[in-house]
Amino acid sequence: MTGPIYTPLVESLPSTVPFVGPETQERERGREFTARIGANESVFGPSPKAIEAMTRAAAEIWKYGDPENHDLRHALAAHHGVKPENITVGEGIDGMFGYLNRMLVEPGVTVATSLGAYPTFNFHVAGYGGRLVTAPYVDDREDPESLIALAKAEGARLIYFANPDNPMGGFWEAAAMKRMIESVPDGALLCLDEAYIDFAPEGAALEIDPDDTRVIRFRTFSKAHGMAGARVAYAIAAAPLVTAFDKVRNHFGVNRVAQAGALAALADREWLAEVKRRVAEARARISKIAEANGLTTLPSATNFVAIDCGGDGAFAKAVLDGLIARDIFVRMPFVAPQNRCIRVSAGRPADLDAFEAALPGALADARAG
Amino acid sequence: MTGPIYTPLVESLPSTVPFVGPETQERERGREFTARIGANESVFGPSPKAIEAMTRAAAEIWKYGDPENHDLRHALAAHHGVKPENITVGEGIDGMFGYLNRMLVEPGVTVATSLGAYPTFNFHVAGYGGRLVTAPYVDDREDPESLIALAKAEGARLIYFANPDNPMGGFWEAAAMKRMIESVPDGALLCLDEAYIDFAPEGAALEIDPDDTRVIRFRTFSKAHGMAGARVAYAIAAAPLVTAFDKVRNHFGVNRVAQAGALAALADREWLAEVKRRVAEARARISKIAEANGLTTLPSATNFVAIDCGGDGAFAKAVLDGLIARDIFVRMPFVAPQNRCIRVSAGRPADLDAFEAALPGALADARAG
């Protein structure tokens, strides 16, 4: 019995997890976190109407979900002023990044991203054998110009860019993004991750030309809509690319109850406005807490704030460890010099009370080294 | 603007849907089905305790699900008397078939299945460029001996077998399955689809040796547990194969509420027994209805019954069309001679009343041609 024979590519991959979940840490620590403000989840929860819709749909969970995601796709098309043929729905942006990489990437194909950008995208590039090239952040933001220059120089077929950015929280105005799309090299596709776009200032709202074959835009119900656990996201793209997803996607993969919840969440603009208001409040409070501890924060167009701990990556890691030891779940960037920061998600007042109480001790411990 | 450049493999794939959903048919018809008994869903629904657990969890949908599926994996391990290291949880069997094919299949790799067996498995084989070889059904069952002989002759690396079988409903005793596993050729893996095992007679319950590297067994919450729309399934396999899934799976892909629901469903053995009782009743009633119309049925170890319409595939298709025109959603096998049958899922009394009322007219129309 030799066991199964894997493809050489899969054989070469590590058994890895892009992110360790807070539940894993809680099991290892033997106790729960007081504040769960590390994964940029929306602690304010989904729209009450979405909860109501999901509760109502729960009894019908015996039915497979609609593999066309018809109602949600049509509602999204109306919302964005595009055709349903420009929308494909999937099991979260992570799952959809898998499909996109599968369609474009194989050994020999180059993909460009920023050094320190979203690691799950890189997980999928590696998973399909792609060669990843990276451009550094400039002034703590992903840099369109150097990324496009890199993509041109290296012949990248796929380019990842997040606007607003995770993990640093910055954003580019629509005009800059428009310039970036126009400079995408022929034969390349820009994968524009707009997971946090709902939190950005008005100026970030890039108009959508759904027939532009140079870009695919990803949106999600995991962030502002407060449904991370539901696994519903979508892409807006030219119709031929949307159709191509049907070649590889898990057609019945979106949970039926989640479809109903997303539909209700999309319709509840009041709740979205309320969440944005609370997130703005929380961002301001996180900055105040940081300042009170002698730290600075980076501007944020997202539902989190990067706090510059004022030292190097090892120092920030020590602060992070001190917070975790004090039952505060936060995360931090992976790469220097961005890893001088920790990343704190917008929390409820009680979450930020706990953070405020824990930070001085975590800093003191880190300084005591 | 040339648009994105796909891999040659993806370029060659059709944009296809393995199954057209009943919602699509309802939209095309402009009206709803009276009885939804075509997708082998469990119309009896999930355990009330599972609904309760999902309702309770709905407000926490803002949290990502545990990427380790820890609690469910541990409960499943205890249930099956194996280690958690032998269990991997995923987004339905369909999604997990995708991962399995991705790990083992690439252009040049051969996969063996039965002609007319589960088409979504074949969708994934094609999706990864595998060469599919098929052995015919024997006496309306997948045939272990000829399938293994084919796999040996063709050097297949992956072998698909469903026990009990879909779409015909038959099953093999544990002794036959044990013999099949022992004859799996070196370097090949048997993908044993046990989606319907809960409905099978006791004799079908194959003892699990989780360290046997020749077989991976798939189970689901979509059938007897009545949670098709939730997208939760799992595989039982040797630990190295389970670990290999971590290389390619969508780690945060299982809906958080679905995890909670599956955990509650697994614990409710009374509900499972009740569902099995109702399914057995429904099977008996479907057979009676068929007999009353001069038709025969095949023995079933599943939650559906294949009714032999007594003619060829075109005749059965005409009967099926007549049923659909009469608002009864059913499906049928794809391949001769199995396509002389229609496949009717176990329904509630009202569903089967509607089927009983519709069948004579559908048959008469089909005979009138």
Given B42, B46, B61, which is nearest A230 (Cβ)? Answer: B61
Tens of pLDDT, residue by residue over B130-158, are 999 999 999 999 999 999 999 999 999 99
Cβ contact A207:A177 at 8 Å: no
Dist CA A181 CA B1 (whole Å): 11
pLDDT (mean) for A206-217: 92
Proportion of chain B above pLDDT 90, given as a percent: 95
User: Residue B60's pLDDT is what?
Assistant: 96
Dist CA B117 CA B217 (whole Å): 16
Cβ contact A190:A161 at 8 Å: yes
Chain B residues 201-240 with a CB less than 8 Å from chain A: 212-214, 222, 226-231, 238, 240
Residue A178 structure tokens: 């428009």
The Cα of B364 is separated from the nearest Cα of chain A by a number of Å equal to 31
What are A136-145's contacts with CB under 8 Å, separation 24+?
A137/A168, A137/A338, A140/A168, A140/A170, A140/A298, A140/A306, A140/A338, A141/A165, A141/A168, A141/A170, A141/A171, A141/A172, A142/A114, A142/A117, A142/A170, A143/A114, A144/A172, A144/A176, A144/A177, A144/A179, A144/A180, A144/A183
The one-character DSSP state at B263 is H
- When pLDDT is cut at 50, 70 and 90, the band that residue A1 belongs to is low
Given A91, A95, A227, which is nearest B62 (Cβ)? Answer: A227
Dist CA A312 CA A355 (whole Å): 21
Dist CA A263 CA A266 (whole Å): 5
Q: Where are the beta strands (DSSP E) in A80-177?
A: 87-90, 110-114, 131-135, 158-162
Residue A64 structure tokens: 């497979």
Cβ contact A162:A40 at 8 Å: no
A254 and B CB contact within 8 Å: yes
Dist CA B121 CA B98 (whole Å): 8
Asked if the Cβ–Cβ distance from B16 to A214 is below 8 Å, we say no
A332 or A202, which is more confident: A332
Query: DSSP states of B308-342 as a string?
Result: E-SS-HHHHHHHHHHHHHTTEE-B--SSTTGGGEE
Dist CA B222 CA B79 (whole Å): 18
CA angle B199, B202, B206 (to 5 degrees): 95
Cβ contact B154:B110 at 8 Å: yes
Residue B111 structure tokens: 């996969």
- When pLDDT is cut at 50, 70 and 90, the band that residue A2 belongs to is confident
Closest-approach residue (CA) in chain A for B250: A95
Query: DSSP states of A158-193 as a string?
Result: EEEEESS-TTT-----HHHHHHHHHTPPTT-EEEEE
Cβ contact B84:B73 at 8 Å: yes
The answer to whether residue A206 scores a pLDDT higher than 90 is no
Could you tell me how many helices (H) and strands (E) chain A has, helices first? 13, 12
Residue carrying structure tokens 């990803």: A218
The answer to whether residue A203 scores a pLDDT higher than 90 is no
List the beta bridge partners of residue A304.
A345
Domains and CATH numbers, chain B: 8-45+270-368 (3.90.1150.10), 48-268 (3.40.640.10)
Q: How many residues does chain B have?
A: 369
The answer to whether residue A207 scores a pLDDT higher than 90 is no
User: Residue A204's pLDDT is what?
Assistant: 76
User: Residue B15's pLDDT is what?
Assistant: 81
B282 and A CB contact within 8 Å: no
- B92-104 vs B119-127: helix crossing angle, rounded to 10: 40
Cα dihedral: B81, B226, B174, B78 (round 10): 0
The Cα of B359 is separated from the nearest Cα of chain A by a number of Å equal to 23
Q: Contacts of residue B16 in chain A, CB cutoff 8 Å?
A: 246-247
- When pLDDT is cut at 50, 70 and 90, the band that residue B204 belongs to is confident
User: Residue B207's pLDDT is what?
Assistant: 85
Given B15, B247, B257, which is nearest A243 (Cβ)? Answer: B15
pLDDT (mean) for A217-223: 98
The answer to whether residue B28 scores a pLDDT higher than 80 is yes
Asked if the Cβ–Cβ distance from A229 to B65 is below 8 Å, we say yes
B265 and A CB contact within 8 Å: no
Low-confidence winner among A55-59, A106-110, A152-156 (lowest mean pLDDT):
A55-59
Question: Distance between alpha carbon B225 and the CA centroid of its chain, in Å?
Answer: 13
Tens of pLDDT, residue by residue over A280-339, are 999 999 999 999 999 999 999 999 999 999 999 999 999 999 999 999 999 999 999 999
Given B1, B23, B248, which is nearest A127 (Cβ)? Answer: B248
Dist CA B282 CA B353 (whole Å): 11
> Residue B360, Cβ neighbours under 10 Å: how many?
14
Given B5, B95, B187, which is nearest A253 (Cβ)? Answer: B95
pLDDT (mean) for B95-100: 98
List the beta bridge partners of residue B191.
B160, B216
pLDDT (mean) for A70-95: 98
Low-confidence winner among A62-66, A320-324, B201-205 (lowest mean pLDDT):
B201-205
Proportion of chain B above pLDDT 70, given as a percent: 100
The one-character DSSP state at B90 is E
List the beta bridge partners of residue A219.
A234
User: Residue A225's pLDDT is what?
Assistant: 98
The answer to whether residue B73 scores a pLDDT higher than 80 is yes
Q: Contacts of residue B225 in chain A, CB cutoff 8 Å?
A: none
Tens of pLDDT, residue by residue over B2-13, are 789 999 999 999
Cβ contact A313:A334 at 8 Å: no
Write down the mean pLDDT value for chain A: 96
Given A4, A14, A213, which is nearest B241 (Cβ)? Answer: A4
Backbone CA torsion sign across A326, A329, A335, A338: negative
The answer to whether residue B18 scores a pLDDT higher than 80 is no
Question: Distance between alpha carbon A72 and the CA centroid of its chain, in Å?
Answer: 21
Tens of pLDDT, residue by residue over B32-66, are 999 999 999 999 999 999 999 999 999 999 999 99
Tens of pLDDT, residue by residue over A261-287, are 999 999 999 999 999 999 999 999 999
The answer to whether residue A151 scores a pLDDT higher than 80 is yes
The Cα of A23 is separated from the nearest Cα of chain B by a number of Å equal to 6
User: Residue A16's pLDDT is what?
Assistant: 75
- A174-182 vs A144-154: helix crossing angle, rounded to 10: 10
pLDDT (mean) for A339-365: 98
A110 closest CA partner among A127, A125, A95: A125
Q: Contacts of residue A1 in chain B, CB cutoff 8 Å?
A: 186, 212-214
List the beta bridge partners of residue A206.
none
A290 closest CA partner among A305, A279, A311, A312: A305
Q: What is the ipTM of this complex?
A: 0.96
User: Residue B8's pLDDT is what?
Assistant: 97
> Residue B129, Cβ neighbours under 10 Å: how many?
18
Cα distances (angstroms) measured from residue B194 to each of B120, B125, B166, B169, B205: 15, 19, 10, 12, 10
The answer to whether residue B1 scores a pLDDT higher than 70 is no
Asked if the Cβ–Cβ distance from B64 to A41 is below 8 Å, we say yes
Asked if the Cβ–Cβ distance from B10 to A241 is below 8 Å, we say no
- When pLDDT is cut at 50, 70 and 90, the band that residue B369 belongs to is confident
